[in-house]
Structure 1
Amino acid sequence: MATVNRWLRPEVYPLFAAVGVAIGICGFQLVRNVLINPEVRVSKENRAAGVLENFAEGEKYKEHALRKYVRNRAPEIMPSINRFFADPK
């Protein structure tokens, strides 16, 4: 019980949240690479194929929906705050 009281304090909740988000991002990227990356081959038959020159599949993997969404947007996290402090009145 002393160990539980030591680690489950309100002060460590942000640490647990940050570690949980990092693990989630790593897990998402791992699953994404294993399932749809054209350079990762899990099955023995696909590994035996060697190096494939399939540029269309690589382009499809690279140009995912998030990249298409942010392509023509300004690289800002909070645009309204940036405009408030940067634009002259």
Structure 2
Amino acid sequence: MGGGNRWLRPEVYPLFAATGVAVGICAFQLIRNISGNPEVRVKKDNRAAGVLENFAEGERYSQHALRRFVRDRAPEIMPKLNSFFSDPK
């Protein structure tokens, strides 16, 4: 029983966390596209319909809740810090 040779070192935990977050984002986007994208048709009946002119469904998919939330906001992550360094006194 050697004590110093560990299979899983604590230095790799951030790597596992970053990889887990990336896999989670990919899975979320995959599920969102399969279930909600109007251009993705999984069922055979929907695929047989051909090209649909359903603009309301496309608008509902592209203008999701997060996009509506940030629509009228300034594209800044830290607005107070930005204004502190950029606005003249």
Query: 2:27 and 2:84 mapped to 1: Cα distance?
Result: 37
The aligned residue for residue 88 of structure 2 is: 88
The alpha-carbon deviation at position 88 of structure 1 amounts to 2.8
Where structure 1 has 5 or more consecutive residues not aligned to the other structure, the ranges are none
Distance 2:43 2:6 in 1: 46
Instruction: After TM superposition, give the deviation of residue 14 of structure 1 in Å.
Output: 1.3
What residue in structure 1 maps to residue 79 of structure 2? 79
State percent identity of aligned pairs. Answer: 73
2:77 partner letter: I
Q: 1:5 aligns to what? A: 6
CA distance in structure 1 between the aligned counterparts of 2:57 and 2:22, rounded to whole angstroms: 28
Q: Which of the pair is proportionally richer in helix?
A: 1
CA distance in 1, matches of 2:78, 2:14: 22
Is 1:15 aligned with 2:18?
A: no
The 10-residue stretch of structure 1 (26-35 or 78-87) with the greater mean CA deviation from structure 2: 78-87
Deviation (angstroms), 1:80: 2.1
Q: How far 1:5 moved relative to its partner?
A: 2.4
Q: SS of the counterpart of 2:34?
A: helix
Normalised TM-score (structure 1): 0.86
**C-alpha distance in 1, partners of 2:25/2:88?**
39
**Where in structure 1 do 4 or more consecutive aligned residues deviate above 4 Å?**
none
TM-score normalised per structure 2: 0.86
